Amino acid sequence: MKPRNTKEESLKIPTDILLDVLTIIVKEHMRHEVTDVLESRGIVKVSLYLNENVLKDQRVLQNIQSIIEEYNEYRYSDHEELNWKD
């Protein structure tokens, strides 16, 4: 349920980095809700509820999005030195 006066941001978090992201969310006392678990894809969907007037919330969101983007770049990279699957 979306609290009043907030913006909802949906995140798809790979399970490999789920604990790291949830640690940030909990430490920063951000309102959140796990909305779905896609076991076959290894993804957990989380909704963050941000107060648009609080700069800290925006910075935490940017940090989390950066972590997810860096993970995806590392995980799905075509470059041999970055692709851990090879």
Helix (H, G, I), strand (E, B) or coil at 58: helix
Amino acid found at 71: Y
Please tell me which residue, 6 or 37, carries the higher pLDDT value: 37
Q: What percent of the chain has pLDDT over 90?
A: 71
Whether pLDDT at 62 is above 60: yes
Please give the order of strands across the beta sheet that includes 43-50.
Answer: 7-14, 43-50, 31-38
Architecture category of domain 7-75 in CATH: 2-Layer Sandwich (3.30)
What pLDDT is attached to residue 79?
A: 57
Exposure of 13 by Cβ count < 10 A (0-12 exposed, 13-18 middle, 19+ buried)? buried
User: Which residues, at least 6 apart from 83, have a Cβ–Cβ distance to it below 8 Å?
Assistant: 77
Does residue 36 register a pLDDT over 70?
yes
In three-state secondary structure terms, 84 is coil
Distances (CA, A) of 47 to 13, 27, 35, 81: 10, 16, 7, 33
Q: Please, which pLDDT band fits residue 5 given cuts at 50, 70 and 90?
A: confident
C-beta separation of 70 from 77 below 8 A? no
